[in-house]
Structure 1
Amino acid sequence: MRLLHTSDWHVGKTLKGHSRLEEQELVLREIVGIAREQEVDAVLIAGDLYDTAAPSAQAQQLVVRTLMGLAGTGAEVIAIAGNHDHAPTIDAYRPLAGAAGITLVGSVRTADRGGVVEFRARSTGELATVAVLPFLSQRYAVRAAELVAQTPIENTLAYDQQLRDILASLTTGFRDDAVNLVMAHLTVLNGKMGGGERTAQSIFEYAVPASIFPVDTHYVALGHLHRRQRMDAACPVHYCGAPMAIDFGEQDNTSVVCLVEAAPGTPVRVTDIPIQAGRRLRTLKGTVAELSGLAGSVGDDYLRVWVREPARAGLREEVTALMPNALEVRIDPEFAAPVQASRPASDGGVERSPAELFSEYLGTRSVADPRVEELFRTLHDRVTDNRSADNRSTGS
């Protein structure tokens, strides 16, 4: 049978205030097209369909259209909630989704209540058994009283054991004559971050070793870490990664979906299929003159620009005039690290003027622009003059 593994769509994600729904629609259409072209028997979506627990109506419409499109290819569609999703809402859609041939699992369930999904491949008639494990927060896996009373390492071990127990229960029914699969949204120890994950829910306390997955599992389809990677384990354990870079920390990641070919009693074959849609994210560094020379080569890429010049008034506007897709403009930290200026002692008790204090502040921020200092002096004099006039008019 042929399976398509994808995860971490993060529909509704914005980048520096810019909506990316149009890009996300193109990416998801491409995934539907791949499912149709490859004639897959099932699509496994390993969590984080949305970027937020309260997605916009437009984001929900896009996810629903995509799930319907995948189901329209004739494939089984199984999706679980990730840490960005609102699990109760995902579960609320279960009856409607089920009527459309889509299986949604928002919360951890026992095998007999939806924690195990079985289907027969339309291409081969072979049986597949899928143990599904949506994201499980540590605060739910480990009781609050234990979190308070136990040490962090004890809590980590307790979380590890909870997931082991859950997986052991869900995989008890694995069969020799079936393709046995696990789909989960979690952090595996030694996994490499993609760059845009929610760090608080990806740290060591939430990580488990790859050894928790049963050795007789044909394939483990993971979501949560946005970098494509295979984990070292006794069975095939794969993160497919996010299908598009969601932040500049992911600009060098390769976006793919995983095509998995599996049969009972034989090793799986995994093929990465690149995703072509979506705008590239790039970081450029240079002086304004150097950036001007690069302006014609960036196309429609979204840019993060690190300027290798001291800050000055109007610098951002100069850069964005050259590169309208520059979503972030900052001074290159390697070029202009903040200066730790020491405050000189006053001379004979004479206090420094506001202009001198402001000039010192600009030095700590690596700003060297006489125009800014002159503007400050002008505004300060204007405010001071107005205040003096007000005092005279009131007789103070």
Structure 2
Amino acid sequence: MRVLHTSDWHVGRMFHGRDLLADQEAVLGGLADLVTDERVDVVVVSGDLYDRAVPSGEAVAACTRILDRIRSAGAELVITPGNHDSAPRLGAFAGFAAAGGLHLRTRVAELGRPVLLADADGPVALYGIPYLEPEPSRHALEVEAGGHAGVLTAAMDRVRADLAARGEGTRSVVLAHAFVTGGSPSASERTIAVGGVEQVPSAVFDGVDYVALGHLHGPQRLAEHLRYSGSPLAYSFSEARHRKSVWLVELDAGGLAGVERRELPVPRALSTLRGTLADLLADPAHEAVREHYLSVELTDHVRPTDALRRLQERFRHAVHLDWRPAGGPLAASLTYTTATRSRSDHDVACQFVEDCRGAEPSAGESALLREALAAVANEERAELARQRANRAA
């Protein structure tokens, strides 16, 4: 049996304000071609199908089209919710969906009941462990041990007990959404720490043929049978060097026969640039990244006005900007009380502008600040007069 391990689709996610739905549908819909070319029997999604617990109508429609393409290519689908999903919403109509080859394993009470598929070598049991919020899951699983390690251990105990009852010859795949010790995180995962502890030891997952992990967005191998597929697209600039991919898992009569990487297309590359605004706008060496998503670090001594809009005139996909002046920011030497003592509101406002931008406000800006402060003072005096008149009446 051939299993395609995916996770962390995050359908509906934005990237620094940019809509990624079209890119997501192009990449994920393309999995249908992989299903056909590689003769895949089942595609698994180990959590975070959506980016939000309540996805938009557009995200649901796109996800439906993607799943339909994969199913039409001939593969069964097994999906579990992650920490971004709403398990009850994702699991709605699960019984009806299973009849069409879409298996939604969203209930803690059913994690020991696998999706059973078969090939020429016999049955394969696919166990879907939904993301387990430690405290409510502890009660649902009726265990005393808390934390992610405690509830996942209890979950795997149920999986192993069911697998043992099925006897020899049943191969096993577990889907789980967790942070396993040894994995490398990136900047785009939402923390699942509870009380400062979120990691679980890899030994928790012993006793099964393959564990399809989700949650971490970089593809990685913790052991031959224990892997993260990672997200299909980059969702932060920390993932710029990731080789986005999926794992093609093959099971034979003896269990795990092999795992191969299949890289995914990159709709738009991610790059970072550093330098002064003038250099970035003029240097022809940057032409190669003109159509990339860009994170820019400006080193101008004075913070340029309207810098991102000006950058987007050349780099239309510049989406993130930091100002880090060469030599570092000026260190604040005065406390707030000292900095404001015996100074007018106008002086304090001008100093604030200088601290933020690295240069004093121009004469015109200073005049505008003075006018704004005068308008506020006039409004305060008028309000005080109204209050006195009301008390006199």
TM-score, length of structure 2 as denominator length: 0.85
- Partners of 1:218 and 1:268 within 8 A in 2: no
Q: Which secondary structure does the structure 2 equivalent of 1:127 belong to?
A: strand
Instruction: Return the offset for 1:37.
Output: 1.1
Alignment partners' CA distance in 1, 2:130 and 2:97: 17
Where do 5+ consecutive residues of structure 2 fail to align? 386-393
Q: Could you tell me which residue of structure 1 aligns to residue 169 of structure 2?
A: 177
Aligned residue type for 1:9: W
Instruction: Return the offset for 1:72.
Output: 1.2
Alignment partners' CA distance in 2, 1:105 and 1:25: 23
Instruction: Return the offset for 1:212.
Output: 1.3
Q: Could you tell me which residue of structure 2 aligns to residue 379 of structure 1?
A: 368
Q: Which secondary structure does the structure 2 equivalent of 1:172 belong to?
A: helix
| 2:233 is the counterpart of 1:237 | no
Alignment partners' CA distance in 2, 1:154 and 1:350: 53
- Partners of 1:194 and 1:226 within 8 A in 2: yes
Q: Could you tell me which residue of structure 1 aligns to residue 101 of structure 2?
A: 101
Alignment partners' CA distance in 2, 1:49 and 1:4: 15
CA 1:31–1:209 in structure 2 vs 1: closer, same or farther (change >3 Å)?
Answer: same
Q: Could you tell me which residue of structure 2 aligns to residue 269 of structure 1?
A: 258
Q: Could you tell me which residue of structure 2 aligns to residue 69 of structure 1?
A: 69
CA 1:193–1:345 in structure 2 vs 1: closer, same or farther (change >3 Å)?
Answer: closer
Correspondence for 2:291 among 296, 300, 303: 300
| 2:330 is the counterpart of 1:332 | no
Instruction: Return the offset for 1:195.
Output: 2.5
Aligned residue type for 2:138: V
Alignment partners' CA distance in 2, 1:116 and 1:100: 17
- Partners of 1:359 and 1:373 within 8 A in 2: no
Q: Could you tell me which residue of structure 1 aligns to residue 41 of structure 2?
A: 41
Q: Could you tell me which residue of structure 2 aligns to residue 4 of structure 1?
A: 4
| 2:127 is the counterpart of 1:135 | no
Q: Which secondary structure does the structure 2 equivalent of 1:252 belong to?
A: coil
Q: Which secondary structure does the structure 2 equivalent of 1:199 belong to?
A: coil
Aligned residue type for 1:196: S
| 2:308 is the counterpart of 1:316 | yes
Alignment partners' CA distance in 2, 1:387 and 1:163: 62
Alignment partners' CA distance in 2, 1:392 and 1:140: 55
Alignment partners' CA distance in 2, 1:266 and 1:350: 75
Q: Could you tell me which residue of structure 2 aligns to residue 368 of structure 1?
A: 358
Alignment partners' CA distance in 2, 1:388 and 1:172: 78
CA 1:356–1:4 in structure 2 vs 1: closer, same or farther (change >3 Å)?
Answer: same
Residues 328-387 of structure 1, C-alpha deviations (whole Å, 9 max, x = no match): 11213775336323159989x99234443234323433x1334x3434421133346668
* Aligned residues with identical type, % of pairs: 27
Instruction: Return the offset for 1:92.
Output: 0.8
Alignment partners' CA distance in 2, 1:181 and 1:253: 25
Instruction: Return the offset for 1:268.
Output: 2.5
Moved more, 327-336 or 384-393: 384-393
Alignment partners' CA distance in 2, 1:202 and 1:284: 36
Q: Could you tell me which residue of structure 2 aligns to residue 186 of structure 1?
A: 178
Alignment partners' CA distance in 1, 2:368 and 2:381: 20
- Partners of 2:169 and 2:253 within 8 A in 1: yes
Query: After TM superposition, which residue ranges in structure 1, 4 or more long, deviate above 4 angstroms?
Result: 153-157, 201-204, 343-347, 383-393
Instruction: Return the offset for 1:156.
Output: 5.7
Q: Which secondary structure does the structure 2 equivalent of 1:270 belong to?
A: strand
Moved more, 23-32 or 278-287: 278-287
| 2:9 is the counterpart of 1:17 | no
Instruction: Return the offset for 1:390.
Output: 9.2
CA 1:93–1:345 in structure 2 vs 1: closer, same or farther (change >3 Å)?
Answer: closer
CA 1:181–1:23 in structure 2 vs 1: closer, same or farther (change >3 Å)?
Answer: same
Alignment partners' CA distance in 2, 1:342 and 1:38: 66
Q: Could you tell me which residue of structure 2 aligns to residue 284 of structure 1?
A: 273
Instruction: Return the offset for 1:181.
Output: 1.4
Alignment partners' CA distance in 1, 2:35 and 2:188: 26
| 2:239 is the counterpart of 1:260 | no
- Partners of 2:135 and 2:147 within 8 A in 1: no
| 2:219 is the counterpart of 1:228 | yes
CA 1:61–1:202 in structure 2 vs 1: closer, same or farther (change >3 Å)?
Answer: farther
Q: Could you tell me which residue of structure 1 aligns to residue 157 of structure 2?
A: 165
Q: Could you tell me which residue of structure 2 aligns to residue 342 of structure 1?
A: 334
Residues 15-55 of structure 1, C-alpha deviations (whole Å, 9 max, x = no match): 12221101001111221211111111111111111000000
- Partners of 1:8 and 1:223 within 8 A in 2: yes
| 2:204 is the counterpart of 1:212 | yes
Q: Which secondary structure does the structure 2 equivalent of 1:260 belong to?
A: strand
Instruction: Return the offset for 1:93.
Output: 3.0
TM-score, length of structure 1 as denominator length: 0.84
Alignment partners' CA distance in 2, 1:306 and 1:55: 33
Q: Number of paired residues?
A: 380
Q: Could you tell me which residue of structure 2 aligns to residue 86 of structure 1?
A: 86
